Amino acid sequence: QVQLVDAGGGSVQAGGSLRLSCVVFGYAYSSMSIAWFRQGPGKEREGVAFITSSGSTTSYADSVKDRVTISQDNAKNTVYLQMNSLKPEDTAMYYCAARYGSRSFPLRPSEWPYWGQGTQVTVSS
């Protein structure tokens, strides 16, 4: 059984920073790739960042590249999303997702079987 608990969202002003966390419960953590998705009001869910189980490969959406960093702490079964220079258009519900073994970033949400409950990020101008 795999369970994801994401947290760390909040309300910030444009230019601010937030660090989201995703704790993965389950023995399969070491075999899983983790991604962050987001879904803004009236928008489809989109991929934001991705990290392989080994941490050797990361990938970012063009809209957030150079502003966000995905990282992992294997001792804590936790993946982080550090977001800097936040913009109002970053406002969305952010979800972490997990799947077994990927070398690249599957962008379709349907390709990710495990999801956190979501954490809201609101950026005001």
Name the token pair of 84. 């800097």
What's the burial of 82, exposed, middle or buried (CB within 10 Å: 0-12/13-18/19+)?
middle
What would the pLDDT profile of 4-18 be if each residue is shown by its tens digit?
999 999 999 999 999
Query: How distant, in Å, are the alpha carbons of 4, 14, 109 from that of 124?
Result: 28, 6, 27
Name the token pair of 90. 């970053």
What would the pLDDT profile of 28-64 be if each residue is shown by its tens digit?
777 899 999 999 999 999 999 999 988 889 999 999 9
Q: Give me the chain's average pLDDT, please.
A: 94
